[in-house]
């Protein structure tokens, strides 16, 4: 278990939840991501997180992407993060 990677995944999920909530949406799949992390499946959690962001068109700021990439790199699973749709990546200061 890599608690630092898990913390990074949690942080990104939390911001995506807030962003979805600001749009008036709930995304139950994000809770599933956290369950995967809790069950020591962070690699699968990263896959699920990227797929969820793509499916629900949840934008991710560059700093959040970098944090997720850092976690994935520590887990030797960085390729999965690159599957995010480029149009979903936002500049650091854009909180849309």
Give pLDDT tens digits along the chain (96 positions). 678 999 999 999 999 999 999 999 999 999 999 999 999 999 999 999 999 999 999 999 999 999 999 999 999 999 999 999 999 999 876 555
- 């709930």: which residue's tokens? 26
Q: Is this prediction's pTM over 0.85?
A: yes
In a domain, 27, yes or no: yes
Q: Is residue 95 domain-resident?
A: no
Overall size of the chain counted in residues: 96
Distance between CA atoms of residues 4 and 25, nearest Å:
28
42: domain range? 3-83
94 in any annotated domain: no
Count of the separate structural domains present in the chain: 1
């Amino acid at each position: 278990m890599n608690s630092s990677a898990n913390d990074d995944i949690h942080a990104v999920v939390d911001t995506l939840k807030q962003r979805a909530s600001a749009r008036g949406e709930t995304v139950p799949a994000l809770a599933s991501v956290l369950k995967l992390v809790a069950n020591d499946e962070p690699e699968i959690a990263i896959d699920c997180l990227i797929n969820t962001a793509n499916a629900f068109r949840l934008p991710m700021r560059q700093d959040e992407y970098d944090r997720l990439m850092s976690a994935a790199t520590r887990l030797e699973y960085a390729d999965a993060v690159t599957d995010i749709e480029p149009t979903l990546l936002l500049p650091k200061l854009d909180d849309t």
